[in-house]
A and B are shown apart, each in its own frame.
Chain A
Amino acid sequence: MEVSKEYAVQMHGITKLFGTFRALDNVNLDVKKGSIHAILGENGAGKSTLMNVLYGLYQADAGEIYLNGEKVVIKNPNVAIEHGIGMVHQHFMLVDNFTVTQNIILGTEVTSRFGVLDMKKAREEILNIVKKYGLEVDPDAKIEDISVGMQQRVEILKALYRGAEILILDEPTAVLTPQEIEELISIMHSLIEDGKTIIIITHKLKEIKASSDVCTIIRRGQYIDTVPVADVDEEELATKMVGHAVKLVVDKTPAKPGDVVFEIDHLTVKDDRGLEAVKDLSLKVRKGEIVGIAGVDGNGQKELVEAITCLTRSESGTIKINGTEIQNTTPRNVIEHKVSTIHEDRQRRGLVLPFTVAENMVIEKYRTPEFKRHGMQNREKAQEYTKKLIQDYDIRPAGCENQPVRGLSGGNQQKVIIAREVSNDPDLLIAVQPTRGLDVGAIEYVHKTLVRERDAGKAILLISLELDEVMNVSDTIDVIYDGTIVAEYKQGEVDENTIGLLMAGGKQNENAVQNT
């Protein structure tokens, strides 16, 4: 495409190598001034890399960048900021114990003589921008005390404060509730009205439809297509993103729940700071049923899982599996009572990264007679066992049983965990964020496995921050807020807005529901 002043950003023929790996291969991007331009791709497709090149965090190995028709070289973020580019990172770049104002001015401080900070003036300047774009935020609050949605506004303010004309938003909706997403989209529109240009990186199709004008699709570092969003539907976008047709809706028959297998009764758990994170929480999971817990991060999900798996103490209440109380015992005891857990953080909790795939596979079973010989480990047996699971669960690369699990891709690491936990033949399978960081294809696989295990009569407890996931996969949807279950619905009996409102602490009554 020709270089023109009409375009705020043009990146032509961008190639970026990490060692011999081509993260970006001859990628083009042309963003019209005053538009919202989405970049769509799976995890690892190169979206963030492309934007990091534009923001000067990486240097491209080939290709040119033009801003408003002029060729530029962006050596570092300072140069990007000078050119009016602002970036809101997926993982917020905020100092937790600084105030909003301190975070915003950091690096471009307002000072009187001798570098002394002029906080009063800084505060006024920030309040001006806050008013102009309706970005409600308290300039004196500490970051650690404000909500995630609020923190994101601080990030946007940071960019605007530096005079950004082009805003890059990297996966901005990943951590927001549906209501916060709506607010974000309206903020984006008010920025566009003021003549700003926005580039939004995402793999969520629905939000592209809701917010963007144009969409560029990248797959495995390759440029695929640029399309006007109004002309395509979600299925088409997904097909372009993945490279083959995908099912966005989970295929399943209605549940046939049996007896109660798992029961939590009035459970209270404290967090590391000694505050009650789970408060008087009760729930039940039946055989052949998937119970999903929806909620915003930090509402007690982490502590709930840790209490069930005995990684932390329960203050009061009971946790029963098949009628046996397991609270405040040991993780081994929990596993022996046929509870299997797919932990949220596969690299920290789920796997021992330097260990081989086979070692990780038997890590809960190595002491059983099956994997022992004369009191020593039976490595051949473990490898044999692992080989079978690698085949059954299509873990790639094939024949990886003696490779360190660290070398596998995120999706395959997750498959190792799923294979290990499911093959325990548990009565209760707990899946915490089982699709975190996975691409569409792998997500489809994980969801299918959960449904298959349900149909095999297992009780499944799904805890996820992805509301879509909970809504699609679960038979029963529980909403957790402030450490307790605030509402329970059957699948299909409730819409996303209602759940979203409850997740944000809205009261469950007729008025609140009507207001959404």
Chain B
Amino acid sequence: MLSKFLLLIGITLMYSTPLVFGALGGVISERSGVVNIGIEGMMTMGAFTAAAVSYYTGNPWIGLLAAGGAGVAIALLHAIASVTFKADQNVSGIAINLIGPGFALFFCRLLFKNATTTPPVQTLPKLFGNNAFNGTPVENLNVDITVILGLIVTAIMWFYLYKTKWGLRIRSVGEHPAAADTLGINVSRTRFLCVLASGMLAGFGGASMTLAIISQFNPTAISGQGFIALAAVIFGKWTPFGAYGACLLFGLAQALTVVLGGSDSGINVPSQILAMLPYVLTIIVLILFVGRSVAPKEDGIPYEKGVR
């Protein structure tokens, strides 16, 4: 029983980590006033890049960094479209969601003999080394290193947003860009950089899926994780720790799918029903919380100088 419980915790943490990075990406972007529904596409790009680079270099850490870089590269499109040219942020985000998986699959076929999946790749290490505590129930808590990284990045973002001058500026740009502008804060630059940071984090999110959980890239590696991360942003009221907590809840839903789905669980629920759980939960959370939690005031609205 203890073993089972620890397994549930372990899997919850494991599955929540890609969501955490994705959600943090959403938080930083939306706090600066740019809606980023392209998280899904950015995560897919990150997931593929991480796997491919790890495969060719044999070093998953380089894969992780490359995934961040790929996220930034694709976020650049979103930043240029929605900040520089003030295009509709949702349209630009949808474009990213179409481009991300398209690119990933295209390069996957190009590099891996027309296959839609990469070969298994070198993964990131576990927290206490890959074989620590083997055979004991505590084994389940020897989580991927990305789990800890996710928690650390959450804490850093919280500190950055609430305790530093740059955080204060980012939040002011999301709430009242005209006010920030009159005080000499460069609204466009702030938003541009936040979107890039968002892409980097989403890229890490994708990487923590392929480099820690499924150890290869396949077309369904991300499949909706980016959208669940966006739901977590809303549920978490646009705060780093709020989003983190929301991701744990969604992670738990996925973990239940795995734990209850096992043949020895004694509960006979069709796996298809269980697999719906995270998505159903997302819809329920959105129904209950959209509109009730307060977004940054100018979230999603391009800033035009001199228009009140």
Residues of A within 8 A of B (CB): 55, 57-58, 76-78, 81, 87, 89, 91, 93-98, 102-103, 105-109, 111, 114-117, 158
Which residues of the partner chain A approach B180 to less than 8 Å between Cβ atoms?
106-107
Which residues of the partner chain A approach B308 to less than 8 Å between Cβ atoms?
91
B164 at the interface (CB under 8 A from A): yes
User: For residue B185, which residue of chain A has the nearest CB?
Assistant: A107
Q: Report the tally of A-B residue pairs with Cβ distances under 8 A.
A: 67
How far does the alpha carbon of A111 sit from the alpha carbon of B168 in the complex, in Å? 12
Which residues of the partner chain B approach A93 to less than 8 Å between Cβ atoms?
176, 178-179, 182-183
Which residues of the partner chain A approach B166 to less than 8 Å between Cβ atoms?
115
* Minimal beta-carbon separation of B301 from chain A (angstroms): 15
* Minimal beta-carbon separation of B12 from chain A (angstroms): 32
Contact A106 B164 (CB under 8 A): no
Contact B181 A77 (CB under 8 A): yes
| A96, A103, A107, A116: residue with the most chain B Cβ atoms closer than 10 Å | A107
Contact A87 B182 (CB under 8 A): yes
Q: Mark B154-186, 1 if CB is under 8 A from A, else 0.
A: 000000000111101101100110111111110
Between-chain CB contacts (< 8 Å), 21 pairs: A81-B183, A81-B184, A87-B182, A89-B182, A93-B176, A93-B178, A93-B183, A94-B176, A95-B179, A96-B175, A97-B175, A98-B172, A103-B179, A105-B168, A107-B169, A107-B180, A108-B183, A109-B165, A111-B165, A117-B163, A117-B164
* Minimal beta-carbon separation of B108 from chain A (angstroms): 41
B266 at the interface (CB under 8 A from A): no
How far does the alpha carbon of A111 sit from the alpha carbon of B169 in the complex, in Å? 13
| B165, B172, B181: residue with the most chain A Cβ atoms closer than 10 Å | B165
| B166, B175, B179, B308: residue with the most chain A Cβ atoms closer than 10 Å | B179
> Would you call the interface of chain A mostly helix, strand, loop, or mixed?
loop
Which residues of the partner chain B approach A108 to less than 8 Å between Cβ atoms?
183
B270 at the interface (CB under 8 A from A): no
Name 19 extra pairs, CB < 8 A, besides A57-B306, A93-B183, A109-B168.
Answer: A76-B184, A81-B183, A87-B182, A91-B308, A95-B172, A95-B175, A95-B179, A96-B175, A97-B175, A102-B168, A106-B169, A106-B180, A107-B169, A111-B164, A116-B163, A116-B164, A117-B163, A117-B165, A158-B183
How far does the alpha carbon of A106 sit from the alpha carbon of B179 in the complex, in Å? 9
How far does the alpha carbon of A77 sit from the alpha carbon of B176 in the complex, in Å? 16
User: For residue A87, which residue of chain B has the nearest CB?
Assistant: B182
B126 at the interface (CB under 8 A from A): no
Contact B175 A106 (CB under 8 A): no
How far does the alpha carbon of A324 sit from the alpha carbon of B305 in the complex, in Å? 49
Contact A107 B175 (CB under 8 A): no
Q: Which residues of chain B in 254-308 are interfacial with respect to chain A, using CB atoms and an 8 Å cutoff?
A: 297, 305-306, 308
Q: Mark B175-207, 1 if CB is under 8 A from A, else 0.
A: 110111111110000000000000000000000
